[in-house]
């Protein structure tokens, strides 16, 4: 007899979709579309300021990146590895109606990068949920994230000169960087920030 939890789960369908996409990429019929990484984007766009916003609703479709889980999910939050199945099932069982607690994100130009809540977003996408609560820390950068940005390496100086809008900022401002997943809780609070909140999120 099959496990009823597994039968109800969206994981198998999502994993199958990811496998088909990967085969298409290997065959050259589809370009890879990984999650954007906050560290790469913040360096290239020269993020310099952060403001704690609080909990707001965000569109699931506007969540385009991650701080640390680029190897676990693709851009559509399809699972890239079978080992996350157990956690996926656990989240589904705990929130069968999709009443998830707020995820934790960084916001940049209307797009969001997940710190905590990757599985919740992945399941929300599979269930067709369009909005999700999120605890937001807003970033400000010298350059705006192009609306058609795909891979983090593609957000290059050339892309910025063609499609990004510069945000004026004094040259004396320090650089914002998320160098590793474990450094998120140690991000500097810049004196120039409008709000400098000590409640920085921690990695799941």
What are the residue ranges spanned by the domains of the chain? 4-184
Mean pLDDT of the chain: 77
Give this prediction's pTM.
0.73
For residues 36 and 43, the answer to whether their CB atoms sit within 8 Å is: no
Sheet holding 47-59: strands in order across? 36-37, 63-66, 111-116, 103-108, 131-141, 47-59
Structure tokens at 132: 């999700």
* CATH assignment, 4-184: 3.90.1530.10
pLDDT class of 178 with cuts at 50, 70, 90: low
Q: Residue 188: is its pLDDT beyond 50?
A: no
Of 104, 106, 138, the C-alpha closest to 119 is 104
Instruction: Indicate the range of 72-76, 159-163, 173-177, 190-194 predicted with least confidence.
Output: 190-194
Q: Residue 204: is its pLDDT beyond 90?
A: no
For residues 141 and 173, the answer to whether their CB atoms sit within 8 Å is: no
What was the pLDDT predicted at 165?
Answer: 54
Of 9, 146, 143, 129, the C-alpha closest to 64 is 146
Q: What is the pLDDT of residues 17-40, one digit of tens each?
A: 888 787 876 777 766 678 999 999
C-alpha to C-alpha distance for 46 and 13, rounded to whole angstroms: 38
Q: What is the pLDDT of residues 111-131, one digit of tens each?
A: 999 999 999 999 999 999 999
Q: What is the pLDDT of residues 141-166, one digit of tens each?
A: 999 988 767 654 445 444 544 445 55
């Amino acid at each position: 007899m099959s496990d009823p939890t597994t039968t109800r789960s969206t994981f198998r369908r999502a994993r199958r979709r990811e496998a088909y996409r990967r085969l298409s990429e290997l065959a050259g019929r589809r370009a890879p579309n990984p999650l954007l990484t906050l560290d790469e984007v913040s360096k290239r766009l020269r993020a310099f300021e952060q403001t704690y916003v609080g909990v707001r609703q965000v569109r699931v479709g506007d969540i385009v990146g991650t701080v640390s889980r680029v190897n676990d999910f693709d851009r559509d939050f399809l699972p890239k590895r079978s080992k996350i199945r157990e956690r996926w099932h656990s989240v589904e069982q705990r929130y069968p109606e999709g009443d998830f607690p707020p995820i934790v994100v960084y916001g940049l130009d209307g797009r969001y990068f997940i710190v905590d809540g990757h599985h919740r977003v992945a399941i929300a996408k599979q269930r067709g949920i369009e909005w999700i609560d999120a605890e937001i820390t807003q970033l400000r950068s010298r350059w705006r994230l192009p609306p058609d940005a795909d891979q983090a390496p593609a957000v290059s100086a050339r892309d910025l000169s063609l499609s990004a809008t510069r945000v004026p900022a004094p040259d004396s401002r320090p650089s914002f960087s998320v160098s590793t997943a474990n450094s998120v809780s140690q991000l500097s609070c810049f004196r120039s920030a409008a709000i400098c909140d000590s409640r920085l999120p921690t990695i799941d």
